Amino acid sequence: MVENPKPENQGKAPQAPGDAELSARLQHLEQRLGEVRDAKSEIRIPHQTARADNSGLAKAFRLSAEFVSGPVAGGLIGWGVDTLLHSKPWGLIVFLMLGFLAGIYNVMRASGFMKKSDAN
Amino acid sequence: MADPIHQFELKTIATVGHIGNMPLVLTQSSVYMIGAVIAITLFVLLGTSGRRLVPSRLQSMVELSYEFVAGTVRSSAGTEGMKFFPLVFSLFMFILLLNLVGMVPYSFTVTSHIIITFALAAIVILTVIIYGFMAHGTHFLGLFVPSGVPAWLLPLMVAIEVISFVSRPISLSVRLFANMLAGHIALKIFAGFVPALLAAGVWGLLAPLPLALTIALTALEMLVAVLQAYVFATLTSIYLNDALHPGH
């Protein structure tokens, strides 16, 4: 890592480098960038998930929002179905219950309860 | 005691025009948002104008924020997800700056209004839907069909998956909005106890207690402001990942 910048700096010297040399340098740079990226992503992924999970408050807020949004979305869909089909209470009843299920499903998915079966 | 809700009131600065009977109004909220966009643009443009090998302070701040968001996108949506990097970076910087500006005393917190956070979440979900259908056509609907489910359970699971998908913009917007609103109300209430106790004679001896709590809450709110911007960016990347790879 320390010796590498030197040849590149020398390459910037007055005379224009040939095409072959340029593409070779580009390839070299791409390869090094790839190495840096790989090394970083290896470090970063466990580090980030650990931090996001460790904050209990953040987790609590996240899970509560995940759950509440389920019945809210179900209620909105049910209300929409009712006004479209004039089926007054039934759409709201059915979709609220489905929304309740979706809320629990959301929480299970967000808490990593079904991480192995579902890639999400 | 001070009214904790007063800080969220919209104040008209100028009336720009009319749409039908509705006045088109420039509020202090719009001014904060325009200011945030200008500030972020200047920050990034000035930071990258030098392009030095050894970065200046400003340049390394821009590089740090780039690397942070790029890492978030890569870890949640893969390298393929980098085509959505401009969207995620804009959302992250916009929310982060507005959350932090809201922490300055007497300033206004734009992200404590649900219509703002819902509009941001709607941008994300519409991007997912439009890109999903453009890239995968009807195959995108495979997102709603979980694999490995017995056939008699499938209609129920599809209904739940659809509602779960509809609930995403709601949870995304409610999370940010509720965090900012609740935090600022709590801060205002506990800060309001200090002058109230000081005005009540002997009870003034207790005034340091809510003051200490206010300081602790301020630190917590700073954490929440940054964390919520990060959570928004992460969830955006996760949802965009669904648009890139529908069927699991």
Chain B residues closer than 8 Å to A54 by CB: none
Span B138-168, pLDDT tens digits: 888 888 888 788 888 888 889 898 999 999 9
Q: Are residues A89 and A61 in the same domain?
A: yes
A56: nearest Cα among B213, B214, B223, B69:
B223
Domain stops at, among A54, A76, A96 = A54
DSSP notation for A58-117: HHHHHHHHHHHHHHHHHHHHHHHHHHHHT-HHHHHHHHHHHHHHHHHHHHHHHTTTTTTT
Handedness of CA B53, B57, B58, B64 (dihedral sign): positive
Are the CB atoms for A70 and A99 separated by under 8 Å?
Answer: yes
The domains of chain B are located at 6-244
Q: Are residues A63 and A114 in the same domain?
A: yes
Q: Provide the shortest C-alpha distance from residue B214 to chain A (in Å).
A: 18
pLDDT at B97 over 90: yes
Can you give the pLDDT at residue A8?
46
Q: What is the mean pLDDT of chain B?
A: 89
Contact status of A100 with chain B (Cβ, < 8 Å): no
pLDDT band at A7 (very low <50, low <70, confident <90, very high): very low
Cα distances (angstroms) measured from residue A48 to each of A113, B174, B225: 19, 23, 17
Q: Are residues A45 and A65 in the same domain?
A: no
Q: What are phi and psi of B15, to 5 degrees?
A: -100, 120
Q: Are residues A76 and A108 in the same domain?
A: yes
Residue of B nearest to A108 (CA): B164
Contact status of A59 with chain B (Cβ, < 8 Å): no
Of A40, A57, A102, the CB nearest to B163: A102
Look at B170 and A73 and tell me if their CB atoms are within 8 Å: yes
CA angle A107, A111, A112 (to 5 degrees): 120
Q: Are residues A29 and A67 in the same domain?
A: no
Query: Global pTM?
Result: 0.79
Chain position carrying tokens 């719009």:
B30
Q: How many domains does chain A have?
A: 2
Look at B164 and A61 and tell me if their CB atoms are within 8 Å: no
Can you give the pLDDT at residue B215?
93
Chain B residues closer than 8 Å to A117 by CB: 148
Q: Which residue range(s) make up the domain with A77? A: 56-120
B93: nearest Cα among B238, B233, B235:
B233
pLDDT band at B246 (very low <50, low <70, confident <90, very high): confident
The CA distance from A76 to A64, in Å, is 18
Chain A residues closer than 8 Å to B72 by CB: 48
